[in-house]
Amino acid sequence: MPSFMLKKIVLGNFSSGPVDPVMADAIDFMVDRLESLGQSELASRLTLNCQNSYVEPHKIRDIPVTIMDVFDQSALSTEAKEEMYKLYPSARRAHLKTGGNFPYLCRSAEVNLYVQIHLLQFHGTKYAAIDPSMVSAEELEVQKGNLGLSQEEQ
């Protein structure tokens, strides 16, 4: 398929209605990145994105999972989100009021906080994202305090 058709497919999933300025900047950034991709790169990314793949939930039952979701419009259908919740019933849920398709760009502070909270459970284990000697006890307390504030805001 020609590049312009592939780009049209991707752009069709972006929000077209009014959005706040930060979300508009995130969409503009992604449109710019999309324009920089050649036909073969875009085709391969769309192929990977659209391939039917499935992780058998029972095989990762003992692995902590956090599902991050937005309450506003995104490319994932409500049915797909509900199915994911059913497949991972013990997963923690990290909800953002807004964020659209790119919460990691337009709500980066909130996304980073949820990632840090998820990774806290691995602190001091062989799965830690950072060498335990590099994190002070004070820093851990701050992160735990942020977790309490984040949950109260919602």
Query: pLDDT tens digits for 127-151?
Result: 887 776 776 777 767 766 665 554 4
% pLDDT > 90, the chain = 27
User: pLDDT by residue for the chain (154 residues), tens digit each?
Assistant: 888 888 888 887 776 778 888 888 988 998 899 899 899 998 998 888 778 877 788 888 888 999 999 998 888 889 989 999 998 999 999 999 998 889 999 999 999 999 999 998 887 778 887 776 776 777 767 766 665 554 444 4
Q: Where do we find the tokens 């309490």?
A: 148
pLDDT value, residue 144? 64
Q: SS3 for 97?
A: coil
Alpha helices (H) in 51-136, listed in sequence order? 78-87, 103-106, 108-120
Tokens of 62: 């003992």
**Helix residue ranges per DSSP H, 19-77:** 21-36, 39-50
Distance of alpha carbon 88 from alpha carbon 112, whole angstroms: 22
Q: Structure tokens of 31?
A: 């449109």
Instruction: Calculate the CA dihedral of residues 147, 148, 153, 154 and round it to 10 degrees.
Output: 70
